[in-house]
Amino acid sequence: MNTFSTANTLYEASNASSDDSDSMDTEERFILISEIEELQEICEKLQVAHDNVEEDARKSQKAQVMCWESVRRQVEVAEEARKMAETTRRENGQLVAKITKLEGWTDCFEEGEARLTMRKLYQDVSYWVEKHYGCCPTEIPSTPWDIEDLSSNPSDQTLNQMEILSEVHADLFQHIFQSILARFMIGLDESFGDHLYQIDREIQKTCPSYVWQHWRYAMSIASAALAKSDLEADCDRIAHSVEDKFSHYSTTDAAWRMRQLKSLLWQCIDFKEKLERQGDSYFFWWSSPGRQFREEHMTGIAVEDPSNKLVEQSLWPMLFKARPEGELVVTKELVKTIPIITHEDTDQESLY
Q: Which pLDDT tens digit goes with each residue over 241-299?
A: 999 999 988 889 999 999 999 999 999 999 999 998 888 889 999 888 889 888 889 98
Rounded CA-CA distance 214/145 in Å is 66
Q: What is the pLDDT of residues 21-52, one digit of tens each?
A: 444 568 788 888 888 888 888 888 888 888 88
Q: Classify the phi-psi angles of 256: left when phi > 0, otherwise alpha if psi is within -120 to 50, otherwise beta.
A: alpha
Query: What share of the chain has pLDDT > 70, as a percent?
Result: 78
158 pLDDT more than 60: no
Report which residue type is found at 219. M
Percent composition of the chain: helix, strand, coil (DSSP 3-state, to 5): 70, 10, 20
Provide the pLDDT confidence category of residue 213 given band limits of 50, 70 and 90.
Answer: confident
pTM: 0.63
Averaged pLDDT of the chain: 80
CA-based R_g, the chain, Å: 51
Sign of the Cα torsion 204, 207, 209, 212 reads negative
In the chain, the amino acid numbered 261 is: L
Higher-pLDDT residue of 63 and 134 is: 63
> pLDDT grade, residue 136 (50/70/90)?
low
| Contact between 169 and 125 (Cβ < 8 Å) | yes
Q: How confident is the model at residue 116 (pLDDT cuts 50, 70, 90)?
A: very high
Contact 284, 181 (CB under 8 A): yes
- Which residue in 162, 156, 172 sits closest to 135, CA to CA? 162
Does residue 345 carry a pLDDT above 60? Answer: no
**What is the Cα–Cα distance from 141 to 149, expressed in whole angstroms?**
9
pLDDT tens for 50-102 read 888 888 888 888 888 889 988 889 999 999 999 999 999 888 888 877 766 65
CB 181 within 8 A of CB 276: no
pLDDT band at 234 (very low <50, low <70, confident <90, very high): very high
Nearest to 160 by CA among 125, 136, 128: 136
Position 156 confidence tier, pLDDT thresholds 50, 70, 90: very low
Nearest CA to 284 among 244, 216, 331? Answer: 331
